A and B are shown apart, each in its own frame.
Chain A
Amino acid sequence: MTRLQRLLEHRRFLAVNFCLALLIATSVILALFAEHRHNEQLRQSARVQAQVMADAVSAALAFDDAPAINQYVSALRENPDISAVGVYDEGGALVAQYGSKPVPSRVEDVLRARSAGIAVDAPVVQAGNRLGTVYIRQREEPLPVRLARYGGAALLVVMASLMLTVMAYDARELRRGNARLRTEMNERATAEAALRQSQKMEAVGRLTGGIAHDFNNMLAVVLGNLDLLMRRYPDADPKLLRFVTSSQDAARRAAALTQRLLAFSRRQPLDPKPTDVAKSVQDMSELIGRTLGETIRIETVRAAGLWRAHVDVGQLET
């Protein structure tokens, strides 16, 4: 992933805001530029009008033909873009004018106010001789017209901004959804691992059950033979018989153990019986004590006079 992509990934909102700011700034600059261009064109057209006017009135101005000058000035009334016209003679005095607002009475004022508004002046020159000045003021465009000119562009900018914002929100939602999905995937993977583990345990249990079953059968053979030995030779050497008795004990205990294994692996049906729980605990503690060895002491605390409980002894002991 490139640096830019990383940046976009982490600073998406910043990037969107930056783009929005850029978009708006660019459109404002473009609008200002267009406005400037438009004003420049207006001024240029006024300048052309003034030049034409200056050229036309030169003779009338030189020979003080006021009616002729007024005729030229009146002709410009037809142009709705022009709000005022003034014609000044060689000495700078106003000769002819028209306009809603009065034009300056002296040409010096016109030249001083040259930069203000869309007003232009043109010298009246004939064969290199300055004969006077023509002043033309362009009508300012009304605000609604100006706004209407930029309305379309402004609408586009607003729509684009809106789209960018919506897209940014969508992207954020997408990222959140993605994160949620990833979390879910992780949880599912954990659950699957746990399931596998439990399946493994189940297999182990089943195996244990199978082994315990076979083992039980073998133990039955061993116990049977030991019983037969005791019955057939009841008066054998007592030392020998003690060996046999201890073997029988061990075999019985092994049988009990297999019973528990079977119960653990659910191979054996539950066999609930009224049971003295205290006695069962006593038996178990003996068994556990032998299993754990002599380094660990086991202490049991049993309540006296407990009722019998209806449980499967094997299940309780495991």
Chain B
Amino acid sequence: MKPPAVYRLCLLGLAALLIGAVVAPAQAEAPAAAIEAAYLYKFAPFVTWPADSGGPFRLCVVGEDPFGPVIDRVVTGQTLGGRPIQLVRLDEIDRQSGCDIAFIGGSRRQSVAAALREVRGAPVLTVTDEDDTPGIIAFAIADGHVRFRIDQAQAQQNGLSISSKLLGLALSVHTANGSEVQP
């Protein structure tokens, strides 16, 4: 009777170790994604859109979604200046999508660069990941922290003005006249 119990315990311990080994890297990935998900809507107070569209604030995730359910949790119950946040997942973005902020993950149907081209000149704050073609705001990891770079030239094209406070926090700012500034 005894050996099976010991075996069962050993098996359980082994299983736990295995699961831990598999889950741990996934958890290490998760905070960055969660932080990025939270940052997405936090950019909004520091950005001025040319005209208030009224209605809910549309936060779009275009193409590949790196956040998963995390972003749903983060956004739930949040408002921006009294406007509720509406989370929208899109495969492709165009000028009629009505997005205020768009995280562009890219997909086979519409690459990041293509999506950025599509909404150029429209009042959309485009956000991209570090390795892709940079949008107005591009996430970056510095010293283990999630930070971002800002492209003011694109922002100007889209008619957005970005608060100097936000510019001050960026790792680098690509100004309208093409120079790169490190705050």
Contact = CB atoms under 8 A, between A and B. Distances in A.
Interface stretch (B37-45, B107-115, B172-180): B37-45
Interface string B81-99: 1100000000000000000
A59 B35 CA distance: 15
B81 A127 contact: yes
Nearest to B167: A59
B80 A129 contact: yes
A65 B165 CA distance: 12
Contacts of A129: 44-45, 79-81
Interface string A101-137: 0000000000000000000000000111101000000
A59 B80 contact: no
Given A128-B82, A129-B81, A62 B145 contact: no
Contact of A63 (B42, B80, B163): B42
Label chain A's interface by main secondary structure.
Answer: mixed
B44 A59 contact: no
Interface residues of B, number: 18
Contacts of B42: 62-63, 131
A60 B169 contact: yes
A64 interface: yes
B172 to A, nearest CB: 15
A300 B20 CA distance: 156
Interface in B99-130: none
Contacts of B163: 59, 126
Contact of B46 (A59, A64, A65, A68): A59
A60 B57 CA distance: 23
Contacts of B44: 127, 129
A270 B179 CA distance: 146
B81 A59 contact: no
10 closest cross-chain pairs (CB), A and B: A59-B165, A126-B45, A128-B81, A127-B45, A62-B42, A129-B45, A59-B169, A59-B166, A65-B169, A127-B81
19 contacts: A58-B45, A58-B46, A59-B46, A60-B165, A62-B45, A63-B42, A63-B148, A63-B169, A64-B35, A64-B145, A65-B145, A65-B147, A68-B168, A126-B46, A127-B45, A127-B46, A127-B80, A127-B81, A128-B82
